[in-house]
Structure 1
């Protein structure tokens, strides 16, 4: 059948097929859209001269901020593996000691050696796992959205402290010589149990601790959370570096 013509005798142009979006935007809120009530905050105070205290305070604040029920569910796989290996080593050492105490020395030598070697293996595995697998990872979160299909979002965040350049070293911390809090964020959005990739993003940024802590070591949690929220939302929207 010939195509219909318009008034001028010209055939209408075929309609262009609808374009499918390259990624699916989650219907769940981003971190910046969910404020933290003041009554839920506790004062966080650290020693400004201790980089480890500064980092731990920031790590804990990040976990509290992103693991709220409306955002991401924190995955504790790395912690669980380390604890399992650690407790296995403790039980092995205890069982070996008890066996050696209750059994004659000559008869227990083989069993004690086996227990000792097993303890060393478990301890080594725990150390290797922490160094090579877990690394600097401080937060792994996941959430699911249902939009005609189940969409899974997974975010992995690593942190470390960047030392002050030698040219700026000083006894007293200040905005110009403070060490920096460095973050690496990876985001993946997938469906079909992770078989189909919908979107991914990655970013890396650092900011001096003096931007989050005052002279007395009190943390400005709102400032820190706003910085974290901006980074996470940017990487979720594909704007990360």
Structure 2
């Protein structure tokens, strides 16, 4: 069967064998079908005893893997909101300080108080947004595809580190004695501008960091990406827990 023609601005769907009449849409290309070329990889090395480094390395690798053009376009809404609130606080503090410096002390009191209160409000909003809205979210991606109709897929991924139980603490990490990388994935597929829900799924799974990093702290990126790909494709197919 000849491959379908690409629709401008949409990800192409490769030709596939005929499906049953009950199937509504053709399968879309998943992460496992779009591996990263070896020549595009860089060695990732971390300190195995630093859980922040381990988590950040996995978060960054996940974002690089899923945000490629053939997969999802990353949505930076959370980052943009935090940046806007952060810079607004910086400019407010700078403007307040400049006003207080150039204006007589007694005359500047009301304006300085207003600036100070506004700064506190902005920084508080930034903190509350990070904690209650963004939370552990590390990746939000979306893509539009065409297979008989235009479909929109949205995926949201949160991550956190699950520490080793106190009874299992040891000086040396091992496959059975290391913190775990925990992921929660939510997936929604819709059409008609989000008005018609086609599919949705969610899953949660954790795996020891030692499964992805060797004794020297070098990351096995292929192993990590295959795990991510299997989780994402499972939730896309409605097999998530």
Fold-level match, TM-score > 0.5? yes
Query: Does structure 2 retain, via aligned residues, the 8 Å contact 1:22–1:199?
Result: no
Mapped to 1, the partners of 2:73 and 2:113 lie a distance apart of: 43
Residue in structure 2 matched with residue 180 of structure 1 by the alignment: 180
TM-score (norm 1): 0.90
Tell me how far apart the structure 1 counterparts of residues 10 and 145 of structure 2 sit (CA, whole Å): 47
Give the conservation status (yes or no) of the 8 Å contact 2:13–2:145.
no
Specify whether residues 77 and 95 from structure 1 end up closer, same or farther in structure 2 by C-alpha distance, changes over 3 A only: same
Q: Which has the larger radius of gyration?
A: 1
The answer for the alignment partner of 1:58 in structure 2 is 58
Q: Distance in 1 between matches of 2:129 and 2:184?
A: 20
Contact conserved, 1:158 with 1:185, CA < 8 A, in 2? yes
Residue 52 (structure 1) shift: 0.5
Deviating runs (4+, > 3 A) in structure 1? Answer: 1-28
Partners of 1:10 and 1:226 in 2: CA distance: 25
CA distance change for structure 1 residues 19 and 73 in 2, over 3 Å: closer, same or farther?
closer
Structure 2 vs 1, CA of residues 33 and 20 (structure 1 numbering), >3 Å: closer, same or farther?
closer
Structure 2 residue ranges without an equivalent (≥5)? none
Deviation at 1:235, TM superposition (A): 0.3
Q: Which structure 1 residue ranges, 5 or more long, are not aligned?
A: none
Pairwise CA distance, 1:146: 2.0
Q: CA RMSD in A?
A: 10.6
| Residue 106 to residue 32, structure 1, CA distance change in 2 (3 Å) | same
Separation of aligned partners in 1, 2:160 and 2:52: 10
Out of 54-63 and 2-11, give the one that drifted further: 2-11
Task: Between 146-155 and 204-213, report the one with greater CA deviation.
Answer: 146-155
For residue 5 of structure 1, report the CA deviation from its aligned partner.
Answer: 46
Q: Deviations over 1:185-218 (max 9, x none)?
A: 0000011211111100000000000000000000
How many correspondences in the alignment? 241
Q: Shift of the alpha carbon at 1:28? A: 3.5
Q: Is the 8 A contact 2:184 2:204 kept in 1?
A: yes
SS of 1:123's equivalent in the other structure is helix
Distance 1:101 1:212, change over 3 A: same
Task: Evaluate the alpha carbon distance shift between residue 107 and residue 6 of structure 1 in structure 2; reply closer, same or farther with a 3 A threshold.
Answer: closer
Q: Deviations over 1:94-142 (max 9, x none)?
A: 0000000010111100000000000000000000000000000000000
Query: What TM-score comes out, normalization by structure 2 length?
Result: 0.90
